[in-house]
Structure 1
Amino acid sequence: MSGHGFHVHGPHDHELEHAAHSNDNFSSKIAVMTAIMATVGALIGYEGGATQNQAAMLKNSAAITKTDAANSWNHYQAKSNKQNLAELALSIPGVEAEKYKSDIERYKKEKENLKKEAEAFEKQVVELEASSEAALHQHHRWAQSMTAVQIAISLAAIALLTKKKWLEYGSYAVATAGIGIAALAWMHI
C-alpha cells in the first residue's frame, strides 16, 4: 500500500516490477511469443468449434432427411397396397372394372413420383452424411492444431521458468507444427 511516501509491496509485485523494468530479452521474447500463440490458439479454437457445430448440423439434417425418405417410402407402400386392392377388385364378378382400371393406372403414376422423391431424399442423405464426415475430419484437424499450440505455450512457460534455450526452440517448433496442422484444416486436408 502506498501512503505518505511510504510504499510496501509483496515479493510477487517486486518480481513483476523488476521484470517490467529489466532488459531481459529472453523473457520478453517468450512473453511476446506466448501472447501470439495464445491469440492463434483462440482463433484455432473458434474454428474447431465452428466445424464441430457444422458437422452436428449436417448430421441432424441427414437424420431429418432420412425421415423424409422413410415417409416417402411409406407413402409409396400405401399406394402399392391401394393398387393391389384395386387389382384384386378386378377379379370380383359384377364390379365396375373401368373405375378400378383407372385407379390402378393412377396409383402406378403416383408410385413413380413417390419412388423418385424417396430416392432423391436417400441421395441427399448420403451427401449430407459425407459433408458431416468431412466437417468432423476438419474439426479433428483444428483440435490437433489447438493441442499443439497449447503444448507450445506450456513449453514456453517452462522455458521462461528454467531459462533453457532448447525449451524455447522446442516451443517454437511445436507452435509451428500446430500452425501447419491448422493450415491442413483450413485447406480441408
Structure 2
Amino acid sequence: MSGHGFHVHGPHDHELEHAAQHEPKGFAGQLAVITAVLATVGAFFSYMGGATQANAGILKNDAAIKKTEASNQWNYYQAKSSKQSLAELAVELAPAEEQKARYRDKVARYEKEKADIKAQAEKLEEEAKHFDEQSEAQLHMHHRWAQATTALQVSIALAAIALLTKRRWMEWATVGVGGVGVVLGALAWMHI
C-alpha cells in the first residue's frame, strides 16, 4: 500500500474479497453459532447420561444388598425350621408329659419366630425388586441421553463438513440431525 491514494491488493485481500462474493451470506457465522449451541446442549446431555448411568449402578448395588439381606433372612428362617422340626420330634420322643409341654412351647415359639422372619425376608425381596426396577428405569434414561448426545455429535460433524464443502444442504442436515438429538434429549428428560 502506498501513501498517495494508490492501493495494491495482496493475495490475502483478494481471497477475502472472492470468498465474500461467492460464499453464501453469513454461512460460516451461522454454522459457528449452530455448532456452539449443539456443543452446549450436547455437553448437558452427556452430563445427564453419565449421571443416570451412575444412578443405575448405585440402585443395582442397593438391590444386591437387599437380596443378600433377604437371603440371610431365609437362611435364618431355615435354621428356625430345623429347630422346630427337632422340637416336634422331641415332643414325640419325650417320656414325660411335662417335657412334652416344654417342647410344644418351643414349637409354638419357633412357628411365631418363623412367621416374623418370613415377613422380613419378603419385605427385603420387595425392596430389592423395587431397586432393580428403579435401576432399569435409570439405565433406560441413560440410553436415551446417550442417543441424544450421539445425534448432536453427528450434527456437529455435519456442520464441519458443511463448512468445508460450503454446501447449504449440509447445513440443513446439521440442523435436522441436531433436531433429532434435541427430541431424544426431551424424551429422556420426560422419562420416555
Same topology, TM > 0.5: yes
Q: Is residue 2:54 matched to residue 1:65?
A: no
- Corresponding residue number in structure 1 for 2:123: 120
Q: Is residue 2:181 matched to residue 1:172?
A: no
- Corresponding residue number in structure 2 for 1:110: 113
The separation in 1 between residues aligned to 2:124 and 2:46, in whole angstroms, is 34
The separation in 2 between residues aligned to 1:32 and 1:183, in whole angstroms, is 21
Q: Is residue 2:162 matched to residue 1:186?
A: no
- Corresponding residue number in structure 2 for 1:5: none
> Where does structure 1 differ by over 4 angstroms across 4 or more consecutive aligned residues?
none
Q: Secondary structure at the match of 2:60?
A: helix
Quick one: which amino acid aligns to residue 150 of structure 1?
Q
Report how far residue 36 of structure 1 moved: 0.9
Q: Secondary structure at the match of 1:94?
A: coil
Quick one: which amino acid aligns to residue 168 of structure 1?
E
Q: Secondary structure at the match of 1:91?
A: helix
- Corresponding residue number in structure 1 for 2:158: 155
- Corresponding residue number in structure 1 for 2:4: none
Quick one: which amino acid aligns to residue 147 of structure 1?
T
- Corresponding residue number in structure 2 for 1:45: 46
Report how far residue 93 of structure 1 moved: 3.5
The separation in 2 between residues aligned to 1:93 and 1:34, in whole angstroms, is 87
The separation in 2 between residues aligned to 1:167 and 1:132, in whole angstroms, is 39
The question of whether the paired residues in 1 share the 8 Å contact of 2:94 and 2:100 is answered with no
Aligned match for 1:98, one of 97, 101, 120: 101
Unpaired stretches in structure 2, ≥5 consecutive residues: 1-11
Report how far residue 94 of structure 1 moved: 2.5
Q: Secondary structure at the match of 1:50?
A: helix
Q: Secondary structure at the match of 1:113?
A: helix
- Corresponding residue number in structure 2 for 1:139: 142
TM-score (norm 2): 0.85
- Corresponding residue number in structure 1 for 2:32: 31
**Aligned pairs, number:** 171
The question of whether the paired residues in 1 share the 8 Å contact of 2:145 and 2:184 is answered with yes
The separation in 2 between residues aligned to 1:112 and 1:75, in whole angstroms, is 11
Quick one: which amino acid aligns to residue 118 of structure 1?
A
Unpaired stretches in structure 1, ≥5 consecutive residues: 1-13
Residues 77-114 of structure 1: per-residue CA shift (max 9 Å, x gap)? 00000000011111123251222111111111100000
Report how far residue 180 of structure 1 moved: 0.2
In structure 2, relative to structure 1, the CA distance for the partners of 1:93 and 1:116 (3 Å cut) is closer
